[in-house]
A and B are shown apart, each in its own frame.
Chain A
Amino acid sequence: MSKYANSRFITNTLSVLSPLSLLLLWELLARAGIVDTRLLSSPTLIVQSLVPLLVSGELLHNTLVSVQRIIAGFIAGSVPGVLLGVAMGLSPLVRSAIEPMVQATYPIPKLAIMPLILLVFGLGETSKIFTIAIGVFYLVIINSMAGVLHIEKIYMDVAKNFGASRKDYYLTVALPGALPMIFTGLKLGMGMALILVVAAEMSAAKAGVGWMIWRAYDMFAIEQMFVALIVLSVLGYLFSIALDISERWIIPWKRRE
């Protein structure tokens, strides 16, 4: 084994071993009574409560409810975000009309307007999807606009020198040139969607992963709370993989390590 392969083996083993030993430590401390299992539970207790949640289908149902909200909110926020953002990047007129509003309302934490959203849209699905959509929208619109604005001037010169029409310029330079930053916006938006779905489900919902956490708090079922947290971690991971795959497919020219 070469020295390089050897050190890679060590780093790989370490990345697996280190979280495992942390779980083991948690378990040992819980069994020894040093960690209060009523508050922090233990790995085995969490697995024990995971099984019935899985078997009854309750976990799957709540997960699917949340996933639907995330996807609906993500699409509802990112589609207008990309369209408006690109339009703002291309046209100074559109930019000067919309950018001040975006800049002025962007700093408002999206959670702060949730009560307003609930009043306007009621307790149903719309209010949850809208909450997610608005959070996604801001991140996508700002990054899409920046993506178009930050295209290097040299590419405009090339397009102009080769006789590109306005439409040619949009299709061959502006849009492909902005795609990497549009994707950055989408990835940030996905993270935001995950935060907001939990928040929305905690305040007014009858199902979903966020609702599970809140119910576990009410019932003092700490293990269920941890199960919900694991689901969120897995969801976040899966969504980011999905975005990475679509990025690879849509932006094949992007330099990767």
Chain B
Amino acid sequence: MSSDTASIQVEGLNMSFPSRSGQVVALQDISFSVGSGEFFCIVGPSGCGKTTLLRILAGLETATSGDVTVSVTQKGRPVNSMVFQEQSVFPWMTVRDNVAYGLRLRGISKKERWKIAEGYITMIGLSKFADCYPHQLSGGMKQRVSVARAFANDPEILLMDEPFGALDEQNRILLQQELLRIWEGTRKTAVFITHSIDEALCLGDRILVMTAHPGTIKCIVNNDLPRPREISTIWGNPRYHGLFQEIWGILREEVLKGKELEASCR
């Protein structure tokens, strides 16, 4: 099904913010491409501009210079839907209405959009909670709703900004497995941001490693772990350990550099 999902071209992206001590360069000369149906992970030390990069891809922020091109496969289809890092499901809507939000904005009738939402609610295992409000759900359940909301909108590309970052490890593993299952059923082009090497290896086809201050591309690692993936078996794969060490080797000096910079600022 990868034929009807988009690819992304990012060319010479730069982003700087004005600050008291002049311009702060957040992103510098970022160029990469994500293939159709690819799960693309971005890993980097905190403060490297990962979130800014994703927000530019999502159209929530405008880059200082550079281009983002998404090859649209179907007219009228939303270009991207984002799963946010923090709690972002609407507290004033039920699970059902949250999942159907994108469809509602596109003018799809209530009956039709509830039918579509139903499928995704079942997929995330919240059928019993379809009419509940978010305050009745746990943090993990809310993030499930957020994931379902993005998938139900059926966008060209999925953007995810550390969606499981705030969850405890056990819930995180469960949700990663669930995301793998849902994604492997749709094979939608996805960009996923994380600071966890493990998460990037479990989910991604390729892993972009970023440097900090300013955020640039350090390298892109090919993750050839076989699909469909099962997180527990991935951990037992010797290739996983090799890749983990390789990426940590690259990342380590960046993290240390970032720490030095932080210390010198104080």
The residues in B between 79 and 134 inclusive whose CB is less than 8 angstroms from any CB of A are 80-82, 84, 86-88, 90-93, 101-102, 104-106, 133-134
- Report whether A176 and B135 are in contact in the complex, using a CB–CB cutoff of 8 Å: no
Q: When A155-B90, A157-B60, A158-B90 are in contact, do A253 and B135 touch as well, CB less than 8 Å?
A: yes
A168 and B165 CA atoms in complex are apart in Å by 30
A257 and B60 CA atoms in complex are apart in Å by 36
A81 and B106 CA atoms in complex are apart in Å by 32
Instruction: Count residues of chain B with CB under 8 A from any CB of chain A.
Output: 24
- B34 interface residue per 8 A CB criterion: no
Instruction: Count residues of chain A with CB under 8 A from any CB of chain B.
Output: 21
- Report whether B90 and A163 are in contact in the complex, using a CB–CB cutoff of 8 Å: no
Chain A's closest residue to B97 (CB) is A172
- A173 interface residue per 8 A CB criterion: yes
The residues in B between 3 and 23 inclusive whose CB is less than 8 angstroms from any CB of A are none
- A185 interface residue per 8 A CB criterion: no
A124 and B77 CA atoms in complex are apart in Å by 62
Q: When A154-B84, A168-B105 are in contact, do A160 and B60 touch as well, CB less than 8 Å?
A: yes
- Report whether A155 and B102 are in contact in the complex, using a CB–CB cutoff of 8 Å: no
- A161 interface residue per 8 A CB criterion: yes
- B143 interface residue per 8 A CB criterion: no
- Report whether B91 and A172 are in contact in the complex, using a CB–CB cutoff of 8 Å: no
Interface string of A228-257 (1 = CB under 8 A from B): 000000000000000000000001111100
For A158, list chain B residues within 8 Å (CB).
Answer: 82, 84, 88, 90, 101
A163 and B105 CA atoms in complex are apart in Å by 7
Interface string of B146-166 (1 = CB under 8 A from A): 000000010000000000000
For A179, list chain B residues within 8 Å (CB).
Answer: 92
Q: When A172-B101, A252-B133, A253-B133 are in contact, do A161 and B60 touch as well, CB less than 8 Å?
A: yes
A165 and B106 CA atoms in complex are apart in Å by 10
- Report whether A157 and B92 are in contact in the complex, using a CB–CB cutoff of 8 Å: no
- B72 interface residue per 8 A CB criterion: no
- A90 interface residue per 8 A CB criterion: no
Chain A's closest residue to B78 (CB) is A163
- B58 interface residue per 8 A CB criterion: yes
- Report whether A161 and B58 are in contact in the complex, using a CB–CB cutoff of 8 Å: yes
A44: shortest Cβ distance to chain B, in Å? 49
A206: shortest Cβ distance to chain B, in Å? 46
A161 and B83 CA atoms in complex are apart in Å by 10
Chain B's closest residue to A175 (CB) is B92
The residues in A between 140 and 177 inclusive whose CB is less than 8 angstroms from any CB of B are 154-155, 157-158, 160-165, 168, 172-173, 176-177
For B87, list chain A residues within 8 Å (CB).
Answer: 154
A176 and B58 CA atoms in complex are apart in Å by 25
> Of B58, B60, B88, which one neighbours A155 at CB under 8 angstroms?
B88
- Report whether A173 and B60 are in contact in the complex, using a CB–CB cutoff of 8 Å: no
A179 and B90 CA atoms in complex are apart in Å by 13
- Report whether A253 and B92 are in contact in the complex, using a CB–CB cutoff of 8 Å: yes
A117: shortest Cβ distance to chain B, in Å? 38
- Report whether A162 and B60 are in contact in the complex, using a CB–CB cutoff of 8 Å: no
For A255, list chain B residues within 8 Å (CB).
Answer: 135
For A161, list chain B residues within 8 Å (CB).
Answer: 58-60, 80-82
A161-B81, A172-B105, A253-B134 given. 20 additional CB < 8 A pairs? A155-B88, A157-B60, A157-B82, A157-B84, A158-B82, A158-B101, A160-B60, A161-B58, A161-B82, A162-B102, A162-B105, A163-B102, A172-B93, A172-B104, A176-B92, A179-B92, A251-B92, A253-B92, A253-B133, A254-B135
Give the interface of B toward A (CB within 8 A).
58-60, 78, 80-82, 84, 86-88, 90-93, 101-102, 104-106, 133-135, 153
- Sorted from nearest, which 6 A-B pairs have the closest CB atoms? A176-B92, A253-B133, A255-B135, A162-B102, A253-B92, A161-B82
Can you list 16 pairs linking A and B with CB atoms under 8 Å apart? Answer: A155-B88, A158-B84, A158-B88, A158-B90, A161-B82, A162-B78, A162-B105, A163-B106, A164-B105, A172-B101, A173-B90, A177-B92, A253-B91, A253-B93, A253-B134, A254-B135
